Each structure stands twice: as C-alpha cells, then as structure tokens.
Amino acid sequence: MAILSDALLTEAKTALPGQTGARILQEMDIAYSDGMARDMAPLYERVKSVIPSVEWPFFAPYIQAINDLKRERNAVILAHNYQTPEIFHGVADVVGDSLQLAIEAAKAEGDVIVQCGVHFMAETSKLLNPEKTVLIPDMGAGCSLADSITAKDVRALREAYPGVPIVTYVNTSAAVKAESDVCCTSSNAVKIVNGMGSDRVLCIPDEYLAQNIAREADVEVIAWKGRCEVHEQFTAEELQQYRTDDPGLRIIAHPECKPDVLDEADFSGSTSAMIKWVTDNQPDRVMMVTECSMSDNVAVENPNVNFVRPCNLCPHMKQITLPKILEALAFNRTEITVDAAISSKARAAVERMIELSR
C-alpha cells in the first residue's frame, strides 16, 4: 500500500527544504491532536526533562509518521549517541557509538537502513550491507576528520613508511578505508594497534586520538594531522576552572580531545563507554566533555545525575532532523552508494576491525 500520492512524489522533487516533511504529514493525515497527545504520553513522560512541552506538538506527529512509515518499509533506524533526543528516544531502533553501530549494521534486518549520523557512518553501513538500501537524511552531514585525509594521502603514507601497518579511524571515507589495513574506533583502538604485530603503526587521521592511543599502546604510533572540530575546542584550562568552581564535579572526556584535556578527566572512553560510566557510577554532578546532545540523551535514563553542559555542537550531526528522516523514508532520500572498485577493500578493513574487537 502506497501512503503517498504520485502528486506528492513529484512535488517532493522540487520542494524547498523543510516544506516537504509538513506536506507528507498532511497527506498522511497526521496532525497533533488530543488523541495523539494521549497515545504518545508514555514517550513524552520519558523525555520531558529534555524536550520542552512547547516543542512536543511539533515533534510528536513526525515521530508517529516516521514510526508508521518505518514499519511499512521494513526499515531500521540506526542513530549515533550524538543525535538529538527526539531522534534518539523517539524513532531510533538501535543507538550506540561508532563500533556498536557498525556491528549492528552488519546484523541489520529489514530492507532499508536509515542512518541518523554522519556520512562515513552511512557508508560503513552500506559496506556491510551491499544488498540493502542505505539512506542518509542529509548528504551534507560530513565530518572534519573524514575531510582531513584522502586516499591519495594514504597511498603517500604507505610509500613513506613501507611495511608499517595503517590503522584507520572509522571517521573516514570508504576510499580511505580501502587503502588501509584495518579500521578502528575510539573503543577498540588500543587493542587493534597492539594487535598489529608491528613495533610501529600508522594511526590516522585523528592526531589527538593517535597521541592518546600512543600513551596506552605498546608500540610506536605515527599520527596524521586531522582534528575533530568539536573536541579540539575543549581546553585543559577550562576544565581546571570548572573543577575550581565545583570541586565535587566529575569530568569524563572523549579521546578525540587533546591529551592534556584527558589528563584533567576522571575517565575517558568512546561515547558509549562514557554513557556506561555515568550509568554505573551515578555521580551527583558530571560534565561530559564531548558533543552536547549526548548529555540530554543520557539524562533521560539517569534522572538522579546532574549534567554540567559545556555545549559544543557537531554541526554535521545536527543536519539530521525528524522532517528529513520522514522525507528519507518517503522518497529514498538520499541513497548511499559506494564505488565497486573500493567497496570490497574498504569492507575488508571494517570486517577485520569487527573481528579483532571480539
């Protein structure tokens, strides 16, 4: 059964951004009502601490329409921990850090995967599911790390460091992965670097992640000069100031931060490791030194923890919105394809990572 008319499909091709989602809701006859408010009250009860009541009438119809269309299309929505709460708690089937999303992508059932995250994550899902339709709601959702290095750069590194294994962070294009020996994420990087069986390893493209890995690894780590534009903004001085102002504050940081920032933290780990730390430790007050939507998402499940929120937003993650997810499901917008010449080599690097992380 087609939910959408041919007229709307035609209009969608020419509509201004942001207008089509509302038209889809009209066509599906989905609008906020007292009945919807009642039906969705249990979900709103969960998220009301992070979604103001004035915003809920805007989000709720999209959440309902997306969940309906998702069932009709036999689709699965994978969402990174940095997605906003209405996506993370409202429509995602699987949430997690980069490694968890890659593992879940490999196991994904359904005909369609909608990746709520950035482009390299959707590409990874496509590599692991070449037969499935993989959609990203906004093709412009990039990443400063992925943009910092090209396949040509990796070939030049291989020439400059003959025989040195290349461990590549998943935050890279498929073309870069294809030139690499294995991928890693922040949650498995030390294990993978140590497992290379070499006393020198190239760890690309995140300079700070490489420096942080080098402090824990048993081998020499050679870095590239890429940076995460979100995490590079945090400084050790600001963390010291937060501690001076509030000595009871616990600070946890992502390893894409500078090493001296991690020195100020009580714990560092991938986004999911940070969430686990909060859940296990239930600190009275905590600051998560990472992208700021994550505190909202974690706060929903941890009502007794107070979050101090320095807000550094990832502009790429924030390209993904409920109206665009609805449009993605309605119009297969926008489908990820990976060049056949690079997909098998890139897939091998990701699959090797999954294998070595077990």
Site residues for ligand 13P per CB under 6 A: 81, 97-99, 171, 185-186, 228, 256, 270-271
Which residues, in sequence order, are CB contacts of 217 under 8 Å at separation 6+? 190, 193, 194, 201
First vs last C-alpha separation in the chain = 42
Identified binder of ligand SF4 from the candidate list 84, 125, 171, 173, rule CB under 6 A = 171
What type of residue sits at position 45?
Answer: E
How many residues touch ligand SF4 under the rule CB under 6 A: the total is 13
- Give bridge partners of residue 335 from the DSSP assignment: 135
Residue placing its CB nearer to ligand 13P in the complex, 97 or 138: 97
Residue 217 binds which entry of ligand 13P, ligand SF4, none, with Cβ cut-offs from 5 to 8 Å by kind?
none
With CB under 5 to 8 Å by kind, the binding choice for 185 among ligand 13P, ligand SF4, none is ligand 13P
**Residue 229 binding: pick among ligand 13P, ligand SF4, none (C-beta 5-8 Å cut-off by kind):** ligand SF4
Q: Residue 33 CB, nearest distance to ligand 13P (Å)?
A: 37
Q: Which is nearer to ligand 13P, 63 or 288 (CB)?
A: 288
Question: Which residues from 270-299 bind ligand SF4, rule CB under 6 A?
Answer: 291
Q: Smallest gap, in angstroms, from Cβ of residue 184 to ligand SF4?
A: 14
Residue 179 φ/ψ, nearest 5 degrees: -90, 0
Task: State the pairing for strand pair 94-96/112-116.
Answer: unpaired
- Cα(105)–Cα(178) distance, integer angstroms: 18
Is residue 147 near ligand SF4 by the rule CB under 6 A?
Answer: no
CA distance 144 to 296: 23
- Considering only residues 213-242, where is the footprint of ligand SF4 by CB under 6 A? 228-230
108 vs 118 by CB, closer to ligand SF4: 118
Nearer to ligand SF4, 264 or 291 (CB): 291
Tell me if 118 contacts ligand SF4 by CB under 6 A: yes
**Residue 238: other Cβ atoms inside 10 A:** 14
User: Does 207 interact with ligand SF4 (rule: CB under 6 A)?
Assistant: no
Q: Which does 97 bind (CB under 5 to 8 A by kind): ligand 13P, ligand SF4, none?
A: ligand 13P
Helices (H), the chain: 6-14, 19-27, 34-39, 41-47, 56-72, 85-88, 98-107, 119-128, 151-160, 174-178, 189-194, 207-216, 236-245, 259-263, 271-281, 293-301, 322-331, 340-356
User: Among 151, 305, 317, 350, which residue interacts with ligand SF4 (rule: CB under 6 A)?
Assistant: 317
Confirm or reject binding of residue 28 to ligand SF4 (CB under 6 A): no
Q: How far is the CB of 333 from ligand 13P (least distance, A)?
A: 22
Residues 6+ apart with CB under 8 A from 358: none
Crossing angle of the two packed helices 340-356 and 98-107, in degrees rounded to 10: 110
Question: Which secondary structure element, helix H or strand E, spans residue 223, and what is its range?
Answer: strand 220-223
By CB under 6 A, name the one of 83, 100, 124, 144 that touches ligand SF4: 144
145 binds ligand SF4, rule: CB under 6 A? yes
Q: Give the one entry of ligand 13P, ligand SF4, none that residue 257 binds, where binding means its C-beta sits below a cut-off of 5 to 8 angstroms depending on kind.
A: none
Smallest gap from Cβ 185 to ligand SF4, in A, equals 11
Cα distance between residue 89 and residue 244, in whole Å: 34
Distance, in Å, from the CA atom of 113 to the CA atom of 297, rounded to the nearest integer, reads 22
What gap in Å lies between CA 253 and CA 26, rounded to an integer? 43
DSSP code for 257: S
SS3 state at 310 = coil
In the list ligand 13P, ligand SF4, none, the entry touching 81 (Cβ below 5 to 8 angstroms by class) is: ligand 13P
- Position of tokens 């020996």? 181
Binding mask 295-314 for ligand SF4 (x = CB under 6 A): -------------------x
Question: Which residue, 8 or 127, is less far from ligand 13P as judged by CB?
Answer: 127
Q: Site residues (CB under 6 A) for ligand SF4? A: 118, 143-145, 171, 228-230, 256, 291, 314, 316-317
